[in-house]
Amino acid sequence: MNSKALLLGTLVTTIVTWPFPALYAQDLEFRVGPGGVGIYDRNQERRVRERCNPDDALDLARDAGFRRPQIARVTSRSVVVEGFTRAGPDRIVFGNSRGCPEIG
């Protein structure tokens, strides 16, 4: 028997027989894909974040045209990202709140 199939069968059996609380189990999803086998929490994307995640700020800076963006400073009110644009070195400031709004 293929070792991957055996591992998958063992993993599925373990997950199915593991006593999850009923409400929590509804939000879990079992995924098999190119990255492997894993459990995905569907509510993770729906959870409200109170602060701007620095990784999200970097992604937003890249979307705004920044190359090689780096976090320069994180305060209770803002997240400053520095990088390069076509005009040269530049920075962008995001509010440190839900959604990382651009403030300057």
Alpha-carbon gap, residue 34 to 26, rounded angstroms? 24
Q: DSSP strand E in 53-96: where?
A: 67-74, 78-85, 88-95
Sequence spans of domains, the chain: 3-44, 54-95
pTM score:
0.53
How big, in percent rounded to 5, are the helix, strand and coil portions of the chain? 30, 35, 35
At residue 28, the pLDDT reads 72
Q: What is the pLDDT of residues 22-43, one digit of tens each?
A: 545 566 777 787 777 887 776 6
User: What average pLDDT does the structure give for the chain?
Assistant: 80
